[in-house]
């Protein structure tokens, strides 16, 4: 058992080997994601780095009755705000920078035909942001199976920029679907990779959504 003492006001908890791992490739960050809030009465996520330090957290009170999910750093500073588009039945989501919910960073849309494709979702930058860089092309594409914790995020050049993987069993004990790896490469922001993971969990997770309604 590994004891983690996050630099927040959450209580000390005995956590089952949740630390991430450090890879030889210095451009790759491997985090351990726990689909659980460290705060009682909350649902959410807790994410650790290679030393077992708290990196990201999601603490949704009342199962997300406010209609949004906020990704925070260890100190509770909002990094991303994630909202489901109205009347989209969970198929379309928007990701905002910090607490700014006016100008989205990305939109995430569930792939329309999952039966005949390994594509799960498309992540695009709104055209008003793309025009500043001279175009409105797609941003990223997610393939694989979230329920099996086996997904890859590809950029426009079909390069792998992030991966969701099962966490290796320790001492012959499997972790199940609530503890897994997020592997982030240098070509994408770690907070964005975590934001995409949260949206995938809302689209394809087998447990109750963090947002009501």
- Residue 135 pLDDT grade (very low, low, confident, very high; cuts 50, 70, 90): low
11: DSSP letter: P
In this prediction, residue 5 carries a pLDDT of: 34
Percentage of the chain beyond pLDDT 70 is 72
Of 23-27, 51-55, 138-142, 169-173, the one with minimum mean pLDDT is: 23-27
CA distance 39 to 30: 24
Which uninterrupted H or E stretch holds 197?
helix 190-204
CA distance 182 to 188: 12
In this prediction, residue 129 carries a pLDDT of: 57
CA distance 166 to 152: 12
| Average pLDDT of every residue of the chain | 80
Question: Pick from 107, 87, 125: which is nearest to 199 by CA?
Answer: 107
CA–CA–CA angle 74, 170, 146 (5° rounding): 65
In this prediction, residue 26 carries a pLDDT of: 65
- Residue 190 pLDDT grade (very low, low, confident, very high; cuts 50, 70, 90): very high
Cross-strand partners of 44:
59
Cross-strand partners of 45:
58
- Residue 210 pLDDT grade (very low, low, confident, very high; cuts 50, 70, 90): low
- Residue 23 pLDDT grade (very low, low, confident, very high; cuts 50, 70, 90): very low
In sequence order, the 6+-apart residues with CB closer than 8 A to the CB of 67 are 83, 84, 211, 212, 213
- Residue 117 pLDDT grade (very low, low, confident, very high; cuts 50, 70, 90): confident
Q: The tokens 């590809």 sit on which residue?
A: 154
- Residue 97 pLDDT grade (very low, low, confident, very high; cuts 50, 70, 90): very high
| pTM, full prediction | 0.82
């Amino acid at each position: 058992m590994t004891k983690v003492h996050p630099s927040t006001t959450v209580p000390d908890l005995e956590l089952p080997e949740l630390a991430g791992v450090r890879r030889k490739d210095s451009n790759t960050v491997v985090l351990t994601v726990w689909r659980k809030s460290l705060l009682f009465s909350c649902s959410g996520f807790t994410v650790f780095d290679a030393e077992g330090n708290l990196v990201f957290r999601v603490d949704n009170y009342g199962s997300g009755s406010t209609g949004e999910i906020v990704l925070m750093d260890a100190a509770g500073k909002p990094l991303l705000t994630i909202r489901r588009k109205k009347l989209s039945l969970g198929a379309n989501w928007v990701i905002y920078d910090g607490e700014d919910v006016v100008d989205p960073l990305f939109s995430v849309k569930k792939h329309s035909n999952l039966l005949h494709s390994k594509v799960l979702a498309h992540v695009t930058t709104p055209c008003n942001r793309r025009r500043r860089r001279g175009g409105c092309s797609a941003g990223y594409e997610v393939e694989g199976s979230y329920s099996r914790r086996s997904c890859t995020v590809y950029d426009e050049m079909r390069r792998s920029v992030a991966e969701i993987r099962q966490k290796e069993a320790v001492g012959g004990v499997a972790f199940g679907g609530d503890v897994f790896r997020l592997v982030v490469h240098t070509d994408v922001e770690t907070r964005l990779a975590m934001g995409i993971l949260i949206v995938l969990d809302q689209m394809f997770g087998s447990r109750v959504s963090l947002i009501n309604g």
